[in-house]
């Protein structure tokens, strides 16, 4: 008997089904945000650098026209719903007056708390707020002593988590940290003491307990087959992907004379379809310049991008009501939805969403349109997840249907609609 029980143990250990792994309410709410921005600003902005070595004098940090509301309204115009502020990058310079180091805005000619201004502006304009606090710190004297550095980092978390209102996302960046041992459990315990709903972003190798995973590149795309459930150290976990990519190619910080790096509207559209349109979160990197303002050309591009998203995706072709077209992510349809369209309806894209509270279920699907009584396949895909956007040549049809070809469990389709880019 004992022998049999022992023989079954490995099976029991692996008896977890992907479809049984469900997101937390916080993860569901976060996935519905779809699009955020990540803002880099610091001594690097004034020194034409991407990575500071921690020796720059705080004197260089001297924005003369800083306007956090301008940053926030530019992000909002693009359609972003949350903003992650880099509170401390790898150089260790703090954008808030931390009591635990002298290397902060308080020692600069600018003096004022940048983080406070950003969090206030987010609150005022209805963007959710997040912070990035680099573990790698090239200034902190404690960095060479793991235990002393854990104390320092934990104290900084306490300041950030207790003074700036709700934190939706906390960013743990793995860069530069190879070989350093951090007490991540302690950091997270401390963060959650003040911010029980904060979600933690990290690359997988850095932190098995993260709630959000790095998509694995900074080029702005997720794979077409994108599962929310991944194997995190032999246990299946819900870890939605976040794809961070800068608005100016290769630049997280602002650099002089680099306008040619600004991504074009076509590049932004493509990136949107390959991130948000593949069920991953899009996080666009923005960088205020050395005046402390988002450059005018960046602001204009963000506005163009936001207008395109709204004009293209706000209103489906012939919305008809009913569970799959009602725009309500809480209602769903089990099976293969068919949309009857008005004669002459023309469209060039479809948007599908799964009801994720009951797990990610679809493995393969196709979309068909009916012309003169004949059904023809216009798109094929694998996973759907929070949102899938399929693009195809413009077509005029009187009906369109979604056919699920492979599934882990009966599919629950929250939304299925077709659109036409103006």
CB proximity list for 124: less than 8 A, separation 6 or greater: 69, 72
Euclidean distance between CA atoms 391 and 380, whole angstroms: 10
- Residue 82 Cβ vs ligand FUL, minimum distance, rounded to whole Å: 15
- Residue 90 Cβ vs ligand FUL, minimum distance, rounded to whole Å: 6
Q: Which residue is nearest to ligand FUL (CB)?
A: 175
Among 34, 137, 169, 173, which residue interacts with ligand FUL (rule: CB under 6 A)? 173
Q: Hey, CA dihedral for 42, 285, 74, 201, is it positive or negative?
A: negative
CB proximity list for 296: less than 8 A, separation 6 or greater: none
Q: Is 171 or 238 the residue whose CB approaches ligand FUL more closely?
A: 171
The answer to whether the CB of 34 falls within 8 A of the CB of 276 is yes
Q: Is 65 or 219 the residue whose CB approaches ligand FUL more closely?
A: 219
Cβ neighbours around 413 below 10 Å, total: 23
The answer to the question of residue 221 lying near ligand FUL (CB under 6 A) is: no
Residues in the chain: 422
The answer to whether the CB of 368 falls within 8 A of the CB of 401 is yes
The answer to the question of residue 169 lying near ligand FUL (CB under 6 A) is: no
Question: Which x/- pattern over 104-123 shows residues binding ligand FUL (rule: CB under 6 A)?
Answer: --------------------
Q: Is 244 or 354 the residue whose CB approaches ligand FUL more closely?
A: 244
The answer to the question of residue 390 lying near ligand FUL (CB under 6 A) is: no
Q: Is 90 or 386 the residue whose CB approaches ligand FUL more closely?
A: 90
Euclidean distance between CA atoms 300 and 286, whole angstroms: 13
The answer to the question of residue 137 lying near ligand FUL (CB under 6 A) is: no
Residues in region 44-63 near ligand FUL by CB under 6 A: 50
Q: Which token pair is 351?
A: 């948007």
Euclidean distance between CA atoms 157 and 245, whole angstroms: 25
Among 34, 91, 244, 354, which residue interacts with ligand FUL (rule: CB under 6 A)? 244
Among 61, 152, 252, 347, which residue interacts with ligand FUL (rule: CB under 6 A)? 252
CB proximity list for 159: less than 8 A, separation 6 or greater: 96, 98, 99, 100
- Residue 352 Cβ vs ligand FUL, minimum distance, rounded to whole Å: 30
- Residue 246 Cβ vs ligand FUL, minimum distance, rounded to whole Å: 8
> What ranges make up the beta strands (E) of 273-345?
281-286, 333-334, 338-340
Q: Is 175 or 219 the residue whose CB approaches ligand FUL more closely?
A: 175
Euclidean distance between CA atoms 28 and 30, whole angstroms: 5
User: Which pairing describes strands 229-231 and 236-238: parallel, antiparallel, or unpaired?
Assistant: antiparallel
- Residue 332 Cβ vs ligand FUL, minimum distance, rounded to whole Å: 35
The answer to the question of residue 175 lying near ligand FUL (CB under 6 A) is: yes
Euclidean distance between CA atoms 228 and 23, whole angstroms: 9
Q: Which residues are near ligand FUL by CB under 6 A?
A: 50, 173, 175, 244, 252
């Amino acid at each position: 008997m004992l022998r049999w029980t022992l023989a079954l143990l490995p099976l029991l250990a692996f008896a977890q089904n992907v479809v049984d792994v469900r997101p937390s309410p916080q993860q569901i709410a976060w996935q519905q945000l779809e699009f955020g921005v990540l803002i880099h600003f610091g001594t690097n902005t004034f020194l034409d650098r991407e990575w500071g070595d921690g020796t720059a004098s705080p004197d260089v940090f001297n924005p003369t026209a800083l306007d956090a509301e301008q940053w926030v309204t530019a992000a909002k115009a693009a359609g972003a719903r949350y903003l992650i502020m880099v509170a401390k990058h790898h150089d260790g310079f703090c954008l808030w007056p931390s009591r635990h180091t002298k290397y902060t805005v308080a020692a600069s000619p600018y003096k004022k708390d940048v983080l406070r201004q950003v969090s206030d502006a987010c609150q005022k304009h209805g963007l959710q707020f997040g912070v990035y606090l680099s573990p790698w710190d090239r200034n902190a004297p404690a960095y060479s002593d793991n235990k002393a550095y854990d104390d320092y980092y934990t104290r900084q978390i306490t300041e950030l988590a207790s003074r700036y209102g709700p934190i939706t996302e906390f960013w743990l960046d793995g860069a530069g940290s190879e070989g350093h041992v951090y007490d991540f459990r302690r950091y997270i315990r401390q963060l959650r003491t003040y911010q029980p709903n904060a979600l933690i972003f990290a690359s997988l190798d850095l932190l098995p307990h993260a709630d959000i995973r790095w998509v694995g590149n900074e080029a702005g795309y997720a794979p077409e087959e994108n599962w929310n459930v991944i194997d995190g150290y032999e246990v299946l976990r819900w870890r939605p992907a976040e794809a961070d990519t800068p608005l100016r190619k290769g630049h997280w910080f602002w650099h002089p004379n680099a306008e040619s790096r600004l991504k074009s509207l076509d590049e932004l559209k493509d990136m949107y379809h390959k991130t948000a349109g593949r069920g991953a979160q899009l996080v666009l990197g923005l960088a205020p310049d050395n005046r402390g303002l988002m450059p005018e050309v960046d602001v204009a591009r963000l506005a163009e991008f936001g207008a395109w998203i709204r004009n293209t995706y706000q209103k489906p072709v012939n919305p008809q009501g009913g569970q799959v077209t009602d725009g309500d992510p809480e209602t769903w349809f089990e099976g293969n939805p068919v949309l009857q369209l008005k004669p002459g309806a023309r469209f060039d894209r479809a948007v599908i969403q799964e009801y994720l509270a009951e797990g990610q279920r679809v493995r393969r699907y196709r979309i068909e349109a009916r012309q003169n009584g004949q059904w023809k396949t216009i798109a094929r895909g694998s996973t759907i997840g929070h949102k899938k956007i399929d693009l195809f040549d413009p077509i005029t049809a009187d009906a369109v249907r979604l056919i699920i070809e492979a599934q882990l469990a009966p599919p629950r389709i929250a939304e299925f609609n077709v659109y036409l880019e103006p």
